[in-house]
Amino acid sequence: MDFLSDHQPEMLPGKRQLPPVQGVIEAPHGTTIVAVTFPGGVVLAGDRRATMGNVIAQRDIEKVFPADEYSAVGIAGTAGLAVEMVKLFQLELEHFEKVEGAQLSLEGKANRLSTMIRSNLGMAMQGLAVVPLFAGYDVDRGRGRIFSYDVTGGRSEEHNFAATGSGSIFARGAMKKFFHDGLTEAEATMLVVQALYDAADDDSATGGPDVARRIYPIVTVITEDGFRRLGEDESSEIARSILERRLEQPDGPRAALL
Amino acid sequence: MSTPFYVSPQQAMADRAEYARKGIARGRSLVVLQYADGIVFVGENPSRALHKFSEIYDRIGFAAAGKYNEYENLRIGGVRYADLRGYTYDRDDVTARGLANVYAQTLGTIFSSAAEKPYEVELVVAEVGETPEGDQIYRLPHDGSIVDEHGSVAVGGNAEQISSYLDQRHQDGMSLAEALKLAVQALSRDTNGSEREIPAERLEVAVLDRTRPQQRKFKRIVGRQLGRLLETGGATTEAESAEEE
């Protein structure tokens, strides 16, 4: 943001002087984010756990945010920095929209986020990485799209599904087996919660649905009608139905062998 | 060596005010009205791309009459001010009062600085509250003063005539269609008292709607929705007059 960097550069992430530090700084880290496209839109979801070393720093952290009307960003990595980055990203999209009177293209938004991640490279080298997943509905092309990033700001478009964070390997494996082309919105939301469940199953840093405390994954859907976050009743319904099935089949649905 | 003519400060200020007022009067008028669920902005604007009304922040809207490049400049300044403040503190800390103050300072400085020509603009900054009592409307004339308005306000060309027309007819708790109808009636009256028709395509309409579930309450009303509102506004008034008969 040019105006901010001219006037108050210290407010921008990545513009701060870093003290030399030995070793890794302990700060809460967010864990798993998953996204999947379906005809007509895209679903982005995240678990609710933040960890600090071996400690659960927060049980009910929110890691999926609307970026604007037609896009959302889910964050993995250092929670404090990531939340600030998202806040600045939201601000920038809104500012552009108000000043120019038009929205940025989805590609433009994804590129902008890429620059912001790159500006955090210094911090990332000290163990404070931010690795988001960006999903949105491309109004011009009429479909949902997903972009994933690496710590250096490298951006790549993902097709069908993507995951980021510590549990992403397990979530990706699950999604690979569950995904097919003609998913409905309801199936897509079910799919992401299944994938998060599998991630939580094998990754200690990812939190599963917490029935006792009523903490369920955050699931958001972006379609032609814009961004929508599933209410607690909807996400709890999905999580509970999965939980019930898993009492019989702890490893989840079986895919056909051939 | 030539001696510059002495011009009294009173005369200089009066000349500048005259200059700014003439510039503003050349533009078309626009009106801002309170209605039951928020605040509506109505103006005649043949352009679809160059807006007279725009969003500043969640609950704050901006309307301007006068010279385009000058008010566009102020508008962008306002958006920057609001976004920076909201990012630094919190979204709730951006208020119409604060923004109106910044505008008043800017306009006042420009108006009284001898090096610059005064801005030929008149602004309205409006903020929609949780209830109609919480609504705030500020009018900012070219010289940097602030007028706190209630109910209805008009700026631009024959603002005085239009606002007196509105003051007589505007009531609290009007529906959007009624308020829109009244605004169009007010705008379509010419200086000489005759009426002319303003087609829907030449109207620019926007609302700050407190019932909108989103955080950002500003919304433009265009196309079919505008046509429908204009029709229902007309229908209710006709129905009322039929009942009276």
A5 touching B (Cβ < 8 Å): no
Using the structure block, give the residue that is written with the tokens 């210290």: A10
Higher model confidence: residue A23 or residue A54?
Answer: A54
Task: List all residues 6 or more positions away from B164 whose beta carbon is below 8 Å from its beta carbon.
Answer: none
| List of chain B residues whose C-beta atoms are within 8 Å of the C-beta of residue A7 | 84
Statement: residue A122 has pLDDT above 90: no
Q: Residues of A198-226 as b/e, b for ≥16 C-beta within 10 angstroms? A: bbbbebebbbbbbeeeebbbbbbbbbeeb
Instruction: Quote the CA–CA distance of A69 and A74 in Å, as a whole number.
Output: 15
| List of chain A residues whose C-beta atoms are within 8 Å of the C-beta of residue B86 | 91
Candidates B73, B80, B204, partner chain A, best to mutate (most A CBs within 10 A): B80
Q: Cα distance from A225 to chain B (closest Cα, Å)?
A: 13
Instruction: Compare all CA atoms of chain A with the CA of B91 and give the residue at the minimum distance.
Output: A91
Task: List all residues 6 or more positions away from A130 whose beta carbon is below 8 Å from its beta carbon.
Answer: A75, A76, A77, A78, A81, A82, A85, A117, A120, A123, A124, A151
Give the distance, in angstroms, between the CA of residue A69 and the centroid of all CA atoms in the same chain. Answer: 16
User: What count of CB pairs under 8 Å joins A to B?
Assistant: 29
Q: Cα distance from B89 to chain A (closest Cα, Å)?
A: 12
| List of chain A residues whose C-beta atoms are within 8 Å of the C-beta of residue B62 | none
CA neighbor of A193 nearest in space, from A35, A64, A14: A35
The residues on B that touch A, with CB distances below 8 Å, are 49, 51, 54-56, 76, 79-80, 83-84, 86-88, 216
Tens-digit pLDDT profile for chain B (245 aa)? 677 788 888 998 899 999 998 888 888 889 999 999 999 999 998 888 889 999 999 999 999 999 999 999 999 999 999 999 999 999 999 999 999 999 999 999 999 888 889 999 999 999 999 999 999 999 999 999 999 999 999 998 888 889 999 999 999 999 999 999 999 999 988 766 677 888 888 899 999 999 998 889 999 998 888 988 888 876 554 444 444 33
Catalytic positions of A, written as ranges:
31
